[in-house]
Chains A and B, each alone.
Chain A
Amino acid sequence: MSRIGAAIVDYVKDCARASAEGWDEFWFRPADPTLLGLIRILSGLMLVYTHAVWGLVLPDFFGETSWLNESLVRAISTGAYRYSFWWLVPQGMMWPAYALSMVILVLYTVGYRSRITSVLSFLITVSYAYRTPAATFGLDQINAMLSLYLSIGPSGAALSVDRWLARRRGQVIGDRPEPSSSANLALRLINVHMCVIYLFAGVAKLQGEAWWNGEAMWRAFANYEYQSFDMTWMAWHPWMVNLATHITILWEISFVALIWRPRWKPIVLLGGTLMHLGIGFCLGMWTFGLIMLVGCSSFLPTDAVGAMVAAMLRRRPRPEPAESPSYPAPVTRPSVRIESMEPALAGVPDGD
């Protein structure tokens, strides 16, 4: 018995050790932050666009007599821990507050003072969404989710003005930013959140009869208010409607399992790309489709993306100017040893 007991204890210990190692490897293994920088640019562009569109109707949604007036939104938000800076902005300051928001979002997109602008961008995104809760949809949820995680990781460590300025100051060496654990953490958080989104989007559909009898996609295509491309020709091809319905739900539910399998990953991402572009093309939800694809891009291999971007950005050496015989011969300076740069580099922070 004691031998069996010891074996069980060993097994549990082994499981715990392996789980702890796996946990550390999954969340904290240093990763190239280039992909995070790329996601910052893409999601930042979406944030800028989303909020630029608010600017077309700012008084209608954020003014005194907005569609959702203050008393209504406060009543909806009671006890829901929803905070928005818009409640602190006097009416006369509506446009300056909006202009400041846009400046911050643009700075975040280009990666200037990313640590600060990423946090501010998240607060801006949430504040706009909570001021107009009934006018929001999936786009706003993904915008906020991405900006939250990008504010946790070093989203400005690559493809940013921050990096460009650091390079000008001589604080960075080499083509690629240093791998960092927090870059990996942020990417993993996006990965896992995307899995949660697709899993619940899929299993929630299992409650609906139309997702079982194969008519759900028809119900989406036949919705005149969503329609941006006429898909009614599918009424003559019900099998195609059924197939599209079954594939959609199968893809959503299996995403959480298959995206982690290297052989399946390209197929899953290709399927997601087709699905989200289809949503954009047929249902007119381009912004939602594109931001979901930005979220999916977090599954791209970080090393490959880092190497590819570095190769694209690598500056070709300028050709040496032809030496004029009338000029004095250049003085050859002794090569600077790398150790001599230590004092200058000592204060340079890493990606964490």
Chain B
Amino acid sequence: MNGGDVDDRAAPLDARRPRGLQRRWVRRVVSAWLVLHLVAIVASPAATEPASELATDVCGYLMPYLGALYLDHGYHFFAPEPVESTLIRYVAERKDGSVVEGVIPDRKTKPRLLYHRYFMLTERMSEAPEGLEELWQESYARRIAQEHDAVKVTLFERIHQLPTMEKVREGGRLDEPESYDEEELGVFE
């Protein structure tokens, strides 16, 4: 329990007996778990591509443990290197013919954490497992349709290329319209 400190002088004799982690057998059990846990938390990032067969297999065996505890991460922050952003542009058409256009994420979204959630939605779409791309896009299209009361939604993937230092020195801006490459993902009705 989360009790506080007890004056040792006041503790009765039986209270001074080893308890919890002071007991040898408890330490042995906990040590065995620690070994398993340490292997698991190392195997998970080690199994992120490119990975050895050993790391992949060990991670596979430990996946029930890693998955249940939300420990199956690669921790590859900005690795192998920072890359261009993936955004979504949408065109939503209502029954009356009016059209709403927008981009996800919207830089006006506040607070910043919420903006980042939307940013992750678009960044992660490119990581969709094979065969799930359409289901993924359809899910976003449904949400957009509901938000704007639309009957037809067209999605575009926008890749925002990163400018070089030379380009910025020459007067280029980070949000130059030419820095966006766009590709239609599909029309959802």
Residue positions of A touching B, CB distance < 8 A: 23-24, 27-28, 49-50, 53, 56-57, 60-61, 65-69, 71-72, 75-76, 80-83, 111, 114-115, 125-126, 129-130, 132-139, 141, 144-145, 148, 154-158, 160, 162-163, 166-167, 171-174, 176-178, 180-182, 185, 189, 192-193, 196-197, 200-201, 204-205, 207-211, 215-216, 218-220, 222-228, 232, 234-236, 238, 241, 284-287, 338-339, 341-342, 345-346, 348-352
Contact = CB atoms under 8 A, between A and B. Distances in A.
7 contacts: A69-B142, A134-B120, A154-B3, A196-B42, A222-B174, A223-B162, A225-B107
A185 B142 CA distance: 47
A209 B82 CA distance: 10
Nearest to B137: A72
B70 A141 contact: yes
B62 to A, nearest CB: 10
B81 A145 contact: no
Given A157-B3, A200-B75, A284 B27 contact: no
A163 B2 contact: yes
A233 to B, nearest CB: 9
Interface residues of B, number: 85
B5 A141 contact: no
A156 B5 contact: no
A76 B132 contact: yes
B61 interface: no
A145 B68 CA distance: 12
Given A141-B73, A157-B4, A178-B4, A207 B20 contact: no
A197 to B, nearest CB: 5
A250 B45 CA distance: 19
Nearest to B84: A223
B120 A185 contact: no
Contacts of A83: 68
A176 B27 contact: no
Contact of B10 (A157, A232, A341): A341
B169 interface: yes
Contact of B135 (A66, A72, A216): A72
Given A83-B68, A224-B160, A156 B2 contact: yes
Contacts of A148: 69-71
A163 B4 CA distance: 6
Nearest to B143: A67
A284 B112 contact: yes
B121 A135 contact: yes
Given A172-B6, A177-B4, A205-B78, A225 B119 contact: yes
Contact of B70 (A126, A176, A204): A126
A154 B3 CA distance: 8
Contacts of B21: 28, 180-182, 185, 352
B143 A65 contact: yes
A263 to B, nearest CB: 26
B168 A232 contact: yes
B6 A345 contact: yes
A312 B128 CA distance: 51
Contacts of B72: 80
A216 B2 contact: no
Q: What are the 5 A-B residue pairs with the smallest beta carbon separation, nearest first? A: A352-B20, A81-B67, A208-B81, A172-B4, A178-B5
Contacts of B147: 60
A166 B2 CA distance: 9
Contacts of A157: 2-4
A213 B140 CA distance: 38
A223 B116 contact: no
Contacts of A232: 168, 174
Contact of A349 (B1, B37, B38, B50): B1
A171 B3 CA distance: 8
Interface in B143-175: 143, 146-147, 160, 162-163, 165-166, 168-169, 174-175
Contacts of B80: 204-205, 207-208, 211
